[in-house]
Amino acid sequence: MRYRKRIKIAPGLNINLSKRGVSATLGPRGANVNVGRSGVYLNTGLPGTGLYNRRKIGDLKR
> What would the 3-class secondary structure string for 4-61 be?
EEEEEEECCEEEEEECCEEEEEECCCCEEEEEECCEEEEEEEECCCCEEEEEEEECCC
Burial class (CB within 10 angstroms; exposed 0-12, middle 13-18, buried 19+) of 58: exposed
Range of the domain at 28: 4-58
Q: Would you state the pLDDT for residue 62?
A: 64
pLDDT in tens, the chain (62 residues): 788 899 999 999 999 999 889 999 999 989 999 999 999 999 999 988 999 999 999 988 76
Domains held by the chain: number = 1
